[in-house]
Structure formats: structure tokens, C-alpha cells
Amino acid sequence: MYRFYVTESRLLTATTLLLTIKKGPSEKPFSFQPGQYATISFTVNGRPTPARNFSIVNSPTEQGILQFSIRVKGRFTNALTNLKVDDEVKVQGPFGAFVFDSNRDDETIMLAGGIGIAPFMSMIRFASMTNLNNKLKLIYNNRNQIDVPFVDEIKDYANSNPNFQPTFLVGEGPSDNFAGCNVKNGRITPEVVDQVVKNNYADKVFFICGPPNFMNGMTEILRNKGVSGEDIITEAFSQNSKRQTSRIFSWPMNVYALSAVGLSVTSAAVMVSDLIKTLPPAATLSSSNIANPLGFANSRQNDLDELVNGLPSVDTKDPVTDAVRADVAKKAAALTASKNASNVNTNSTTIATPSPTPSSPAPTPAPASATVYKPVPVCTTSQSGVTTCV
């Protein structure tokens, strides 16, 4: 935010105000490029006004001052006409990509509609004051000659700067105010543009500024002539906070964009760092914590082996006992075969895992006596889930 102070406020025409302000003595330099705009605000009866955007009309070579040409048509702009000398005006900026680049734009065609002349005045003044060799051609369209600002100044630059050529168009009424200049009646047509550029649209940059309908019409003419979008630079002229531009050359806009990208990258890095901190160390992910199906099969096999070995070695022909023994032996053989098949298929070394503590062996039944009784089956269940009855 810069603090400027009013040095002049006067009407150029019945509806066009020229506001000149100078930088405060303690403020840092306000550097801008020809064609840019600034945001200004002030106070009315001690209350701050909203901020509004206005094109800068003076040359960047005029250090310490800013000039704005403003169409008076609303509450804010009417309040500007009441500003007095030394009243404070707050300025932000500069902004905008509607910029004349003397190192790039060797031949510039400027199409202005009404108050859209404002940013072009900064370009014309800058090129004339610095004696640039760049060629500037202005096509300036107005409804009539009554309310056209900067006419005399434009005529003076046309006489003093051989590289600057203006063409005026008047929609209705007389046009004697433009005597001595190239002036035509009506609006800008494709034929008018052909005459100005001499039917050669190559190697030229076209700037367009004015009301929306004017800009759309000029853009259509140029596109129909084969001008690429890269060579058409537009400024949707408006005295509010929603001004749009077609190119970005302004350093403030680039800085804002880069700052946004940097902030996004930094935020993402912080989020990833916090996520990594919540993960357990890699050392804690040992092999003992990984499920091992082969180790589980070995554990079950050990349980069955102990059960088989723990069966009573009695000579009995009891069919129930024989059936249980046969069933246990069959299951043990099946698990052994399954384990061997797994070892062959995986072709890897089994990771040893601690076997669960086996249950106590089944109690040995009392020896058979002379009198044969059918024993009551005794059932046990191992920790691995195998139930055996004897």
C-alpha cells in the first residue's frame, strides 16, 4: 500500500476526469510498465471507500507521480471529482499484463474505443519521451468528437514523433477537431484496419482496449485476417476489481502465482513428513511377525506325532480303539504328505516358528483283566484343534 497525495484534479471533457497524484516523501518508489493499472481508494467524510482499478496514463519515466483518466459515471467516480489538493489517496499495484514491451513489439497496432485510450496514452508518452524506434499506430474510435480526451496531445505527438501515426474514427457528427490527422467517419471496419497495416498483418502485435462489444468486434476482425491469438493482447476496460488480461508479463502476478505453487508444495511436504512419523520403524517388521503357513503345518504335525506316540501300547482287539488309532495314523500321514508337497512347491527353507506347547498325553487306561469289558472312550483335544478318543 502506497500513500499518494492529490496535486491536480480536473475535467478533460464533460465526463472525463484527469487525476494527478504524487508519492509521499517516505514512500518507496512506485515502478510500473506502460499499459499497467493501479488500485486506488480514499476517504469520504472519514470513511474509507472501496478500491477501484484505473489505467495509468503517464509515462514510467515520470517518477514520483501517477495520472489516471477516469470516466465519471457513478458514486465512486463522482466522489473523485471532490478530491482537493493534498488529499490522501491509497494506491496498490501496479497490476496487469497489458504491457508494451519495447524490446519485443517492433510494430504495435493500438485499437482504442472511447475511454479505452487510457493505457495507450502511457505507451505513446513513453515511446515519444524516450525516442524509441518502435512503430506505433493508433486507431481511435469514438461516437462523436465532443467527449474525446487527449486529442490535442495525440496530435502533438503525431507531429513530433515520426514513428507514431494516429487514425481517428467518428461515428456521427462533425470531425473538425481532428483536422490535420487521418480521420474517417463511421466505425472501425476490416477495410480501415487493412489501410492502417497496409494489408500486412505479419510481425505485428495488436493491443485492444475498450468496451466489451468493441473488443469482441476487433478480435473477430483480426482473427479473420489470420492473426494468431499470441499476437492479440486485450484489456477488458472496466473501473472495478475484475479487470481481465490475456497475457501475464507483470511481475506482481508472476510472484503471486509462484508463491501459491510454493505454498502448495510446502504443505504437501509437511503432510508427507507427518504421515511418515506415524509409521512404525522398519526394524519392527521382523520375520516373526509374518504369517508362516509352513510353520503352522509343522506345529500341527508335531501335535499329531505326540498324540500317536502317547497312545497306550496295549494288546487289545477292541474295535473302537483300533478305529481311533487307524484314523489318527491316516490324518498324520495326510499332513506329512501335505507338508512335503508344500516344501517342494515353494522350493524355499521353512522359517521356524515356536511350536505351541502340546497338551498332556492322554491317560493310559488300566490294563485289561481277565474279564473283558468294553472300555469307555476317553477323548482329548490338542491346542491345534485335533480331537482324539481312545
In sequence order, the β-bridge partners of residue 88 are: 5
Helix (H) or strand (E) holding 305: helix 293-309
The residue range of the domain holding 382 is 295-309+318-340+377-390
Domain shared by 118 and 61, yes or no:
yes
Instruction: State how far the alpha carbon of 360 is from the alpha carbons of 16, 239, 316, 325, 364, in Å.
Output: 108, 95, 23, 18, 11
Assess contact for 215 and 208: CB atoms under 8 A: yes
pLDDT (mean) for 203-230: 94
Domain shared by 299 and 251, yes or no:
no
Domain shared by 13 and 103, yes or no:
yes
Domain shared by 190 and 300, yes or no:
no
Does some domain include residue 100?
Answer: yes
Q: What are 130's three cell numbers?
A: 524516450
Domain shared by 116 and 168, yes or no:
yes
Does some domain include residue 77?
Answer: yes
Which region among 26-35, 81-90, 342-351 has the lowest average model confidence (pLDDT)? 342-351
Q: What are 233's three cell numbers?
A: 493482447
Q: How confident is the model at residue 330 (pLDDT cuts 50, 70, 90)?
A: confident
Does some domain include residue 262?
Answer: no
pLDDT (mean) for 201-228: 95
**What is the predicted pLDDT for the residue at 378?**
61
Does some domain include residue 368?
Answer: no
Domain shared by 150 and 228, yes or no:
yes
Q: What are 278's three cell numbers?
A: 506415524
Domain shared by 173 and 299, yes or no:
no
Q: What are 147's three cell numbers?
A: 467527449
Domain shared by 98 and 175, yes or no:
yes
Does some domain include residue 152?
Answer: yes
Does some domain include residue 357?
Answer: no
Domain shared by 34 and 123, yes or no:
yes
pLDDT (mean) for 350-364: 45
Does some domain include residue 157?
Answer: yes
pTM of structure? 0.61
CATH at 200: 3.40.50.80
Domain shared by 329 and 181, yes or no:
no
Distance, in Å, from the CA atom of 113 to the CA atom of 169, rounded to the nearest integer, reads 10
In sequence order, the β-bridge partners of residue 65 are: 22
Q: What angle do CA 351, 356, 359 make, to 5 degrees?
A: 150
pLDDT in tens, 367-376: 444 444 455 5
Distance, in Å, from the CA atom of 31 to the CA atom of 81, rounded to the nearest integer, reads 26
Asked whether residue 342 carries a pLDDT value surpassing 60, the answer given is: no
Domain shared by 89 and 187, yes or no:
yes
Does some domain include residue 347?
Answer: no
Distance, in Å, from the CA atom of 314 to the CA atom of 71, rounded to the nearest integer, reads 119
Domain count, the chain: 2
